[in-house]
Amino acid sequence: MINSFSDSIRILHVDDDPDFTELTCEFLEQENDRFVVETAPSARAGLDRLHTAEFDCVVSDYDMPRQNGIEFLEAVRAEKPELPFILFTGKGSEEVASDAISAGVTDYLQKEHGTEQYTVLANRITNAVEHFRSQQVVERSETRLREIIDSLPHHLFAVDKDGQLILANEVLAEFHDSSVGAIEGEELASVLGDRVANRLRTDISDVLASDTSKWASTIELADSSGETHLFELQLLPYDGPGADTQAVLGIAAEITERRERETEFEQTRERMQLALEQTDSVIFEIDCDSDTVIRHGAYREFFDLEPDETPTWRGHLEQAVHPDDRARFHQFYRQLTNGDRESGELEYRTNPDMGRVRWIRDSAFIQADSHTDSQQIIGIARDVTEYKERKLELRQKERQYQAIFDDPNILVGLVDTDGTVVDINETAMEYVDATRADVIGKPFWESPWFDHSAALRGRVKTWIDRAASGEYVEFEADLRKSTGEQYTVEGVFRPVTNEEGEVVSVIVSDRDITERKQRERELEQYEAYLQESNDIITVLDESGTVQYQSPSVTRILGYERDELLGVNGFELVHPDDIDDLFEKFTDLVSRPDETITAEARFRTADGEWRWLEVRGKNQLDHPVINGIVTNNRDITDRKDYERELERTNALLSTLFKTLPVGVIAEDESRNVLTVNERLFELFEISETPDEVIGRDCEAMAGDVSTMFDRPDEFTERIRTLVDTRESTWDEQLHLTDGRTFKRRYEPIELPDGDGHLWVYSDNTAQKTREKRLEALNETAQELITAETAQEVAEIGAHAASDILQMNANAVHLYDDKRSALVPVAVTDAGRELVGDPPAFTDGDSIAWRVYETGEPLALDDVHADPDIYNPDSPAQSELHLPIGERGLLIACSNTTAAFDEADIVMGEILARTIATALEQVEQTDRLRERERELTRQNNRLEEFAGVISHDLRNPLRVAEGRLELLQEECENEHLRALDRALNRMDTLIDDLLTLAREGEEIQDLESVEVAALAQRCWHTVETADAALETHTTRKIRADSSRLQQLFENLIRNAVEHGGRDVTVTVGDMEDGFYVSDDGPGIPPNEQEDIFEVGYSTIQDGTGFGLAIVKEIADAHEWELSITDSDAGGLRVEITGVHRS
């Protein structure tokens, strides 16, 4: 039992035998609980049910009164072309099967004995319905895919491994002035040309072999006007429409304009190279679009790098610039390339990893290219190392004194080696109630700072002694102001030595760390609070160095919590985001308590990038935090969505601008929202799209309405569509100049109200082609029905008027008796122009020359051809079209150059159609007599087969079904005997039906491999323990289906008469083949009777098997004979066989 959770399957079973119909319904619904089966007793009743209800599948008998199964199928296909239809019939024949397939049957199943056939039928129904439903989904997907492909702005195609194009888009077709339908199926060379195709064959083979994409070298293609274009081509693996189809997808982007700019740039660079070779500095120019740099001068001397090692300014930044200066360098050149500044100077150091560190000063300015929209940065780099070193030395000396005594945050004093105070700064004096004069000249440990603790005074004396002996002494001490307020300092006693290394004094410096101590305690509490935060909390100092990092950094960026402490946070920022983030950070540092928000990419521990939203607050003045606090939230998913949205919008914008149709969108007030250039081209509007944004669309429609045959109807229809908001497709609009436009309207919903979308396209050329093709198609239909050569000629001559749009036409057919091209049909206009047309003979005319060559000829001036038949002819131009070997179609005009290439193509198709029709007339005459002869024979066979397959088999099927149901209810020896009798009857009917049909004349022969067919037949026959040997490699011409029946009967006969372990041999003869066995053989006196109907040597044999073999051999016109095999068994020889 087949079970499924999918929807039910509704089946319509049409059969004129109610008992068999009822039985079939019962078994089908037992096989699959999804089946819902309804019945109809005739084809007419079945059609009525299909009109009133929906069904997933139709199962129909063939032999029914008034309308058979094939006629019923044709009626269903006329209304439901895709509905699954299974022909389930007892009249099994190749003719019925062939007719069913031609009529579009989904499956064909012959009624058999036993209930297994209902399982097979149930499976066929399930497979057909599921395939039908899947096909509908696939067709919808393919339609959407085709729309996307045709909307792409690049050339797109797919080519299979044999070089045939299996896919192309509209852009490629328009480039070649062709259509997608005409290109698909063509060889690659016929579309791209032999030269390009030959270059691409190796690349295509590489992609197919490696299953990876590849960039092909730049290719040149000429468009339909002959203009050459350059393309960059990417080749990718592509799964073709078939399961085993290997193909390659090509995407070609045009680079013609870019290559022209590159050539011009290279010429300029060469001129500069000559002028700048001797410069002492580095002169450079940067392309703002590609970031590439061209340099001249001492670049290697400055940076210890070759210019080609850093081809872009970003590469120079990473390899040649000091790490601490890279942020400023990046910001400076980003501003230049982005247009945020026009010129400027930048000083930076070289990379210490490359050798000596130098100071470099870059002076740069923007220069626009007068020929393109591109810009360059022109600059000069100078070595200012000596200047910077002198300046730095002076600055250091100047700051020495200030560093010691003028720092308001440090308590500094100078004491002698014996501890006597030599000098003290004002910052230290602010902590005691004394003056500098009170402490200078006294031991430092007896100064007011230490009055509150004798123990501390002793430690201070010890620290001074240690420093006086040359030791660097760090300390931390708790002190008390004169007001009693406690504070904490940390500092150092540092020895000062002379040139001989002797300690001559001691500097004591310390810092009030009271607030820091308090902040440390508060930070411990704050850190506990941040343990559970989902965002990264970071504290940075003024330079951006990480002072604190919350635990969530591990989850979001993958770093250990303390791994980033001491690291400059900007080292983790993506190079493209540094400038903006650093600028905002710098601004925040200068504004206490302010807050900023920024977005940037940060590098994770495993080298990937994640987007963070950074909310920073200036807490530098906070007594505990003393830094910039940032709350960093992971927004990677949101940014991915935003980028996808931006790409989609960019694609839609590009598609809109490059659409081959005119498009205009209006807002609710009917003002222009957007419009493309193509609309202006169609309506010959001189303004640009940007100039009409916001303009009244109704007024614009009125301005262009005079272009149309009915101006008022044009504008009124627009108002109607706007009022009703009813979608409209492909409205035809006729212009006064003879052109035809198509219009489409779609109501749209905008964020601020309703809107309107209009699409216009020029359909003139298509209409003209359609009319000519329609006339050609109608002519073909007429020619198919023509019964005489005269009728064919008349139809062809008059059809040329519509197809070639020339009325003076004639058809000449070759007359064997006269050895001439004799006029058979001529139009009235032809007679008016040239009179009665002549008969043309060998060598006397242009017409005979064209007939002999078989090539069409269009003459712009017929009087210029020396072979003109009548020099006084009023015809000025002629078109001669060979009708195969049967004659000629001639079209004339009283004007010169009246026929173009399209006329030749259309004329050739018409001429070939006429030739085919003439051939069909001849074949029809030959076949009619043969058909009459065969009809009588076939009618008798059909009547006999009908009785067997329908009138006998249907009651037999009902009896078998009822017997099986009865066997399920009881067990009886009579039932088994009845089962054997029914099986015997079924075998007799099969053999009789086969015998009746196998004698029919063979129609179609094909090449058949004898050994392979014998092996297939061996597996379709019950062979027990028997063995098959094949000694043949021959291929013969035969009807494959009937030859299979011949082998099956010979094998079955050998096994049934020769025993279960018989060996059957198939081998070659000089003009045929043989089938032999090692069984008991046939007595000589009975060998003449072996092929008679009813002859059998076993009790259960029907006596039809070898009779069927003889009928099949006779139908092939083969000779059949019997002899003994080498092993003493039977050998059947078939001769007169034609090899393949």
Least confident window among 402-411, 695-704, 986-995, 1020-1029: 986-995
Give the mean pLDDT of the chain.
Answer: 84
Asked if pLDDT for residue 541 goes beyond 90, the answer is: yes
100: its two tokens: 């069913």
Residue with tokens 């290394």: 501
Tens of pLDDT along 569-592?
999 999 999 999 999 999 999 998
Mean pLDDT for the stretch of residues 946-973: 67
Tens of pLDDT along 326-359?
999 999 999 988 888 989 999 999 999 988 899 9
Tens of pLDDT along 724-754?
999 998 899 999 988 899 999 999 998 888 9
Mean pLDDT for the stretch of residues 73-94: 86
So what's the pLDDT on residue 723? 93
Tens of pLDDT along 516-525?
877 777 766 6
Radius of gyration of the chain (CA): 49
Asked if pLDDT for residue 1036 goes beyond 90, the answer is: yes
Asked if pLDDT for residue 401 goes beyond 70, the answer is: no
Asked if pLDDT for residue 93 goes beyond 80, the answer is: no
Query: Assign residue 272 a region: left if phi > 0, alpha if psi is -120 to 50, beta otherwise?
Result: alpha
The strand order across the sheet containing 595-603 reads 546-549, 536-540, 627-634, 609-619, 595-603
942: confidence class by pLDDT, cuts 50, 70, 90: low
Asked if pLDDT for residue 1053 goes beyond 50, the answer is: yes
Tens of pLDDT along 758-784?
999 888 777 777 777 777 777 778 877
Mean pLDDT for the stretch of residues 985-1009: 66
So what's the pLDDT on residue 5? 38
Asked if pLDDT for residue 998 goes beyond 70, the answer is: no
Asked if pLDDT for residue 4 goes beyond 50, the answer is: no
Mean pLDDT for the stretch of residues 130-143: 77
So what's the pLDDT on residue 464? 92
Name which residue leads in pLDDT, 1093 or 762: 762
Cβ–Cβ under 8 Å, residues 37 and 25: yes
Asked if pLDDT for residue 972 goes beyond 80, the answer is: no
Tens of pLDDT along 447-499?
999 988 999 999 999 999 999 999 999 999 999 988 888 999 999 999 999 88
So what's the pLDDT on residue 1021? 83
Asked if pLDDT for residue 272 goes beyond 60, the answer is: no
User: CA dihedral defined by 313, 319, 324, 327, rounded to 10 degrees?
Assistant: 30
In sequence order, what DSSP letters do the residues of 179-244 get, joined into one string? -HHHHTTSBHHHHH-HHHHHHHHHHHHHHHHH-S-EEEEEEEEE-TTS-EEEEEEEEEEEE-SSTT
Asked if pLDDT for residue 911 goes beyond 80, the answer is: yes
- For residue 1138, the 8-state DSSP code is P
So what's the pLDDT on residue 3? 40
What is the pTM assigned to this prediction? Answer: 0.30
Asked if pLDDT for residue 48 goes beyond 90, the answer is: yes
Cβ–Cβ under 8 Å, residues 364 and 377: yes
Asked if pLDDT for residue 385 goes beyond 80, the answer is: yes
Mean pLDDT for the stretch of residues 847-855: 91
Asked if pLDDT for residue 506 goes beyond 70, the answer is: yes
**Phi then psi dihedrals of residue 549, to 5 deg:** -140, 125
Amino acid (1-letter code) at residue 348: Y
So what's the pLDDT on residue 137? 75
Mean pLDDT for the stretch of residues 626-646: 87
Least confident window among 156-160, 742-746, 913-917, 1020-1024: 1020-1024
So what's the pLDDT on residue 44? 93
Tens of pLDDT along 185-239?
899 888 888 888 888 888 888 888 888 888 887 888 888 888 888 888 888 888 7
46: confidence class by pLDDT, cuts 50, 70, 90: very high
Asked if pLDDT for residue 979 goes beyond 80, the answer is: no
Name which residue leads in pLDDT, 313 or 973: 313
Closest CA to 520 of 545, 537, 539: 539
So what's the pLDDT on residue 805? 74
Asked if pLDDT for residue 2 goes beyond 50, the answer is: no
Structural domains of the chain ordered from first start: 9-139 (3.40.50.2300), 152-254 (3.30.450.20), 259-390 (3.30.450.20), 407-512 (3.30.450.20), 517-641 (3.30.450.20), 659-751 (3.30.450), 767-929 (3.30.450.40), 999-1135 (3.30.565.10)
Q: Which residues pair with 251 in a beta bridge?
A: 156, 234
In sequence order, what DSSP letters do the residues of 645-701 get, joined into one string? HHHHHHHHHHHHHH-SSEEEEE-TT-BEEEE-HHHHHHTT--S-GGGGTT-BHHHHH
Asked if pLDDT for residue 304 goes beyond 80, the answer is: yes
Name which residue leads in pLDDT, 603 or 195: 603
Least confident window among 116-120, 925-929, 961-965, 1000-1004: 1000-1004
Q: Other CB atoms closer than 10 Å to residue 395's CB: what's the count?
A: 9
Least confident window among 263-277, 551-565, 1004-1018: 263-277
The strand order across the sheet containing 282-287 reads 293-297, 282-287, 375-383, 359-368, 343-349
Asked if pLDDT for residue 1063 goes beyond 50, the answer is: yes
CA angle 252–256–261, rounded 5-degree value: 135
Mean pLDDT for the stretch of residues 1032-1039: 92
21: confidence class by pLDDT, cuts 50, 70, 90: confident
